[in-house]
């Protein structure tokens, strides 16, 4: 099974190196040789490209300023190269060492919604921390959908029409389309990543927005 990993990045020079290092470690952990990483540099004006090049990872550039379009561009390029399973994460995210391995253990399935752990809660008030922890389901069959930890078959993706060209909630929209076409969606807390709890995120109504408004 040829696997593709797509990471959209908009001015993420501070986070990209740790993200790519964690993915490369996850690939080594599987022993799987057919894994392609592709970073989609979207409207970057910082040193993100240099960081990616230092890790000898493939990249493409675009000027969409839209995460839905950036993800879709990268995914379709990898599918054209023969990838049949696609894993998505974000540039401010670190994947667990068994991230890919756990995705393989859940096969056969059409899509997997994994969970996220926040890297730091200390800048949130005690009340905000309590609200978040009460809200988040770190369990199997959870109801969360994160673009930072979402994977699926190329076949299901093409049939669904792909990510919508929208600046946020493209992940939720895709899963809704999978469900409408009766795909098998696995919701797992074994497939794990750690993501930034920053309050100045890139998606206008993404996780940062949610944390800010707890």
Per-residue model confidence as pLDDT tens digits over 178-191: 999 999 999 999 99
- How far, CA to CA in Å, does 183 sit from each of 13, 40, 111, 180? 36, 27, 8, 8
* The total number of residues written for the chain in this structure: 214
Q: Is the pLDDT reported for residue 92 higher than 90?
A: yes
Q: Is the pLDDT reported for residue 207 higher than 80?
A: no
Report the chain's mean pLDDT, rounded to a whole number.
92
**What is the spatial distance between Cα 158 and Cα 54, in angstroms, rounded to a whole number?**
32
Instruction: Quote the DSSP letter at residue 169.
Output: -
Instruction: Identify the structural domains of the chain with CATH numbers, from first to last.
Output: 3-212 (3.90.550.10)
Angle at 76 between CA 72 and CA 79, to 5 degrees: 140
Residue 97's pLDDT is what? Answer: 97
Q: What is the pTM of this model?
A: 0.92
């Amino acid at each position: 099974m040829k696997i593709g990993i797509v990471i959209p990045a908009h001015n993420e020079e501070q986070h990209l190196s740790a993200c790519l290092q964690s993915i490369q470690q996850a690939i080594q952990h599987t022993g799987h040789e057919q894994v392609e990483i592709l970073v989609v540099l979207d409207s970057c004006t910082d040193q993100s490209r240099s960081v990616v090049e230092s890790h000898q990872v493939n990249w493409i550039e675009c000027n969409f300023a839209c995460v839905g379009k950036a993800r879709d561009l990268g995914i379709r390029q990898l599918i054209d190269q023969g990838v049949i399973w696609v894993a998505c994460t974000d540039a401010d995210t670190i994947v667990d060492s068994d991230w890919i391995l756990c995705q393989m253990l859940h096969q056969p399935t059409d899509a997997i919604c994994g969970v996220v752990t926040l890297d730091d809660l200390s800048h949130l008030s005690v009340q905000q921390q309590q609200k978040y922890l009460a809200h988040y389901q770190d369990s199997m069959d959870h109801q969360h959908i994160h673009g930072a930890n979402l994977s699926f078959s190329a076949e299901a993706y093409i049939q669904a029409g792909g990510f919508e060209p929208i600046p946020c909630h493209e992940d939720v929209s895709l899963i809704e389309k999978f469900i409408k076409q009766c795909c098998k969606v696995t919701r797992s807390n074994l497939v794990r990543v750690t993501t930034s709890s920053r309050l100045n995120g890139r998606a206008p109504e993404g996780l940062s927005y949610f944390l800010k408004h707890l």
